[in-house]
A and B are shown apart, each in its own frame.
Chain A
Amino acid sequence: MRIGGINLNTIKQWLTNIKNTFSVNSKKEFVDLFIRSLFLITTIISASFIIIIIIFILREGIKPFVTNNDGLGRVNLVRFLMGTTWLEGRAFFSNLYGVGFIVVNTIYIALLSLVIAMPIGVLSALFIAKIAPKRLSKILRTVVELLAAIPSIVYGLFGSGVILVFVYNLGKVFGIQSKGGNSVLATVLVLALMILPTITALSEVAIRSVGKEIEHGSLALGATKTQTNFKVVLTSAKSGIFTAAILGIGRALGEATAVSLVAGNARSGPSFGLFDTTATLTSTMLQGLKETIGLDYDIRFSVGIVLMVVIVLTNAILNFVKRRIGNVNVK
Chain B
Amino acid sequence: MKKIILGFTMILILTLAACSNGVNEWDSSSNITVYTRDTSSGTRAGFMGGIGFDEAAEDDSQLVDGFVINDNTGILTSMATDEYGIGYISLSSLDDTVKGLQFDGVDPTIANVVNNTYGLKRPFNYVLRSLDDYENETEKNISLAFIAFMETTDGADIITNEGAIPLESSNTWDDIKANYSVCSQGNSNVTIRFGGSDSIEQIAKALTEAFAPKCGNFIPEHDHTGSSDGFKRTQGSEKDGDNYKHIGFASRPFKDSEDGSQGTQGQLAWDAIVAIVHNDNPVMSVTLEDLRKIYGGQFLTWDELL
- Given A173-B18, A264-B68, A293-B225: A180 touches B78 (CB 8 Å cut-off): yes
B40:A180 contact, CB within 8 angstroms = no
Interface residue total, chain A, C-beta cutoff 8 A:
35
> Interface stretch among B79-87, B176-184, B253-261, B265-273?
B79-87
Give the residues in chain B near A164, CB-CB below 8 Å.
77-78, 81
Give the residues in chain B near A85, CB-CB below 8 Å.
61
**Closest residue of chain B to A92, judged by CB?**
B58
- Is A213 interfacial (CB-CB < 8 Å)? no
- Is B208 interfacial (CB-CB < 8 Å)? no
| Contact with A296, one of B40, B59, B60, B67 (Cβ below 8 angstroms) | B40
Give Cα distance in the complex from A91 to B56, angstroms: 10
A288:B33 contact, CB within 8 angstroms = no
B79:A180 contact, CB within 8 angstroms = yes
| Contact with A288, one of B38, B66, B68, B82 (Cβ below 8 angstroms) | B38
Contact with B along A71-98 (1 / 0, CB 8 A): 0000000000000011111111100000
A277:B66 contact, CB within 8 angstroms = yes
**Closest residue of chain B to A262, judged by CB?**
B74
B40:A182 contact, CB within 8 angstroms = no
B84:A177 contact, CB within 8 angstroms = yes
Give the residues in chain A near B30, CB-CB below 8 Å.
177
Give the residues in chain B near A168, CB-CB below 8 Å.
81-82
- Given A173-B18, A181-B78, A181-B81: A89 touches B61 (CB 8 Å cut-off): yes
Give Cα distance in the complex from A10 to B35, angstroms: 71
- Is A291 interfacial (CB-CB < 8 Å)? yes
| Distance in Å: Cβ of B134 to nearest Cβ of chain A | 28
Give Cα distance in the complex from A236 to B225, angstroms: 59
A91:B40 contact, CB within 8 angstroms = yes
- Is B50 interfacial (CB-CB < 8 Å)? no
- Is A161 interfacial (CB-CB < 8 Å)? yes
- Given A87-B60, A88-B61, A90-B58: A179 touches B66 (CB 8 Å cut-off): yes
Give the residues in chain B near A288, CB-CB below 8 Å.
38-41
Contact with B along A234-276 (1 / 0, CB 8 A): 0000000000000000000000000001001101100000001
| Distance in Å: Cβ of B31 to nearest Cβ of chain A | 6
Give the residues in chain B near A187, CB-CB below 8 Å.
none
Most buried by A among B21, B42, B77: B77
Give Cα distance in the complex from A276 to B30, angstroms: 16
| Contact with A179, one of B41, B55, B85, B226 (Cβ below 8 angstroms) | B85
Give the residues in chain B near A264, CB-CB below 8 Å.
68-70
- Given A87-B60, A161-B77, A164-B81: A177 touches B38 (CB 8 Å cut-off): no
- Is A231 interfacial (CB-CB < 8 Å)? no
- Is A225 interfacial (CB-CB < 8 Å)? no
B198:A267 contact, CB within 8 angstroms = no
- Is B6 interfacial (CB-CB < 8 Å)? no
B137-153 residues at the A interface, CB under 8 angstroms = none
Give Cα distance in the complex from A112 to B153, angstroms: 56
Give the residues in chain A near B40, CB-CB below 8 Å.
91, 288, 291-292, 296
B38:A180 contact, CB within 8 angstroms = no
A283-308 residues at the B interface, CB under 8 angstroms = 287-288, 291-293, 296
Give Cα distance in the complex from A268 to B61, angstroms: 9
B56-106 residues at the A interface, CB under 8 angstroms = 58-61, 66-70, 74, 77-79, 81-82, 84-85
- Is A62 interfacial (CB-CB < 8 Å)? no
Give Cα distance in the complex from A265 to B24, angstroms: 28
- Is A169 interfacial (CB-CB < 8 Å)? yes
B222-261 residues at the A interface, CB under 8 angstroms = 225-226
| Distance in Å: Cβ of B142 to nearest Cβ of chain A | 28
| Contact with B68, one of A88, A172, A182 (Cβ below 8 angstroms) | A182
- Is B19 interfacial (CB-CB < 8 Å)? yes
| Distance in Å: Cβ of B139 to nearest Cβ of chain A | 27
- Given A91-B40, A180-B78, A291-B40: A267 touches B19 (CB 8 Å cut-off): no
| Distance in Å: Cβ of A277 to nearest Cβ of chain B | 5
| Distance in Å: Cβ of B42 to nearest Cβ of chain A | 7
**Closest residue of chain B to A276, judged by CB?**
B66
Give Cα distance in the complex from A164 to B78, angstroms: 8
Give the residues in chain A near B19, CB-CB below 8 Å.
169, 173
Give the residues in chain A near B58, CB-CB below 8 Å.
90-93
Interface of B toward A, CB cutoff 8 Å:
18-19, 21, 24, 30-31, 33, 35, 38-42, 55, 58-61, 66-70, 74, 77-79, 81-82, 84-85, 198, 225-226
Beyond A179-B68, A179-B82, A182-B78, 4 extra complex contacts between A and B, CB < 8 Å: A172-B24, A177-B84, A179-B85, A287-B69
A to B CB contacts below 8 Å, 17 in the list: A89-B61, A91-B39, A160-B74, A164-B81, A169-B19, A173-B18, A177-B33, A180-B81, A181-B78, A267-B60, A267-B67, A267-B69, A268-B60, A287-B69, A288-B41, A291-B198, A293-B226
CB-based closest 5 A-B pairs: A180-B82, A288-B38, A265-B69, A180-B78, A91-B39
